[in-house]
Amino acid sequence: MTRERGSATVEFTWLTLLLLVPLVYVVIAVFETQRTAYAVAAASEAAARAFIQSEDAAAAESRARVAARLVLADHDVSGASVSTRCEPSCFVPGSTVVVDVRSSQRLPLAPDLFGDPVAAFDVSSTHTEPFGRYRAAP
- Quick check: is 3 in a domain? no
- For 44, the domain range is 8-130
Query: Using the 8-state DSSP alphabet, how is residue 25 labeled?
Result: H
- Quick check: is 57 in a domain? yes
pLDDT digits 0-9 by tens, 100-131? 999 998 888 777 666 666 778 899 999 999 98
pLDDT digits 0-9 by tens, 53-74? 988 888 999 999 999 999 999 9
Q: What is the pLDDT of residue 138?
A: 59
- As to burial, measured by CB atoms within 10 angstroms (0-12 exposed, 13-18 middle, 19+ buried), residue 2 is exposed
Count of domains observed in the chain = 1
- Quick check: is 137 in a domain? no
- Quick check: is 32 in a domain? yes
- Quick check: is 99 in a domain? yes
Model confidence, pTM: 0.80
Question: Residue 48 in contact with residue 64, Cβ under 8 Å?
Answer: yes
